[in-house]
Amino acid sequence: MRLYILSVLLVLAGCSTQGALAPAHTIPGVVVMEGLEGSLALRVGTNVAWRVDALSNWFRVSPSSGIGPKVVQLKADFAGEVADQPEYTGRLMVSGDVEATVEVRLPLVRVVGAVAEGGPPNAQTIGLGTRAMSAQALPETQSAKQTEILVKYRRDLRAVALPQGVRVLSHDQVGRVTKLSTSSPAALLQRLRLDPSVEWAEINGIVTAQGEPTDQFYPQQWYLRTTGARFTYLQTYPNPITVAVVDTGVRYDHPDLAGKLWHPGEGAYDFVGDAAPPDGPCGSPVPNNPGDTDPTDPCDQQAPTGGSHGTHVTGIMVATSGTFTPACPTCTDSGIVGMAYNAPIKVLPLRVLDPSGNGTFEDVALAIRYAAGIPVQKAGQTLLNPRPVQVINLSLGAPNFSHIMCEAVADVVARGVLVVAAAGNFQNRSPGAMVYPASCPGAISVAATDQNNQVTFYSQQNSRVDVAAPGGNTTQPGGGILSTTWNYTTNLPNYTFYMGTSQATPQVAAALAMLLSSGRASTASEAWNLLRANLTDLGAPGRDDAYGHGLLNLPGAFAWTLPKGDFVVSFSGPSSRQVPVVNGQFQTHLVPGSYLVTACRDDSGNGLCDNGEPRVERLVQVSGRSTLDLGTLYVGP
**Each residue of 109-148: pLDDT tens digit?**
999 999 998 877 653 333 222 222 222 233 333 344 467 8
- Residue 37, pLDDT above cutoff 50: yes
Whether the CB-CB separation of 253 and 264 falls below 8 Å is answered with: no
**What pLDDT score does 171 carry?**
82
Residue 160 is predicted with a pLDDT of 63
Query: Residue 385's pLDDT is what?
Result: 98
> Residues 207-219: what's their mean pLDDT?
79
Catalytic-role residue among 308, 483, 502, 604:
502
pTM of structure: 0.78
Output the CA–CA distances (angstroms, integers) from residue 170 to 149, 180, 201, 550, in the order listed: 11, 7, 15, 51
Confidence tier at 193 by pLDDT (50, 70, 90)? confident
pLDDT beyond 90 at 278: no
Give the pLDDT score at 170. Answer: 85
What are the boundaries of each domain within the chain? 25-107, 243-410+418-518
CA distance 495 to 218: 12
Q: Which amino acid, one-letter code, is at 599?
A: A
Of 356, 521, 536, nearest in space to 449 by CA: 536
Between 161 and 130, residue with greater pLDDT: 161
The pLDDT of 305-322, averaged and rounded, is 97
Question: What's the rounded mean pLDDT across residues 491-512?
Answer: 98
Given a contact cutoff of 8 angstroms between Cβ atoms, the answer to whether 241 and 516 are in contact is yes
CA–CA separation, 487 and 304 (whole Å): 6
Confidence label for 182 from pLDDT (cuts 50, 70 and 90): confident
Average pLDDT, the chain: 88
Residues 332-369 pLDDT 10s: 999 999 999 999 999 999 999 999 999 999 999 999 99
The pLDDT-based confidence of 157 (bands split at 50, 70, 90) is: low
Contact 614, 628 (CB under 8 A): no
CATH 2.60.40.10 given to domain 25-107: yes
- The confidence score (pLDDT) of residue 138 equals 30
Among candidate residues 372, 407, 375, 366, the one with its CA nearest the CA of residue 389: 372
Q: What pLDDT band is residue 558 in, cutting at 50, 70 and 90?
A: very high
Out of 254, 309, 312, 589, pick the active-site residue.
309
Least confident of 90-94, 210-214, 550-554, 601-605: 210-214
Query: Does residue 247 have an active-site annotation?
Result: yes
pLDDT at 210: 57
Ramachandran area for residue 626 (φ above 0: left; ψ -120 to 50: alpha; else beta): beta
What value, to the nearest 5°, has the Cα angle with vertex 632 and ends 630 and 637?
130
365-387: average pLDDT = 97
* pLDDT over 50 at 288, yes or no: yes
Q: Catalytic one among 247, 297, 363, 544?
A: 247
C-alpha angle 247-253-257 in degrees, rounded to nearest 5 = 70
Count the neighbouring beta carbons within 10 Å of the beta carbon of residue 133: 11
Looking at CATH, the fold of the domain delimited by 243-410+418-518 is given as Rossmann fold (3.40.50)
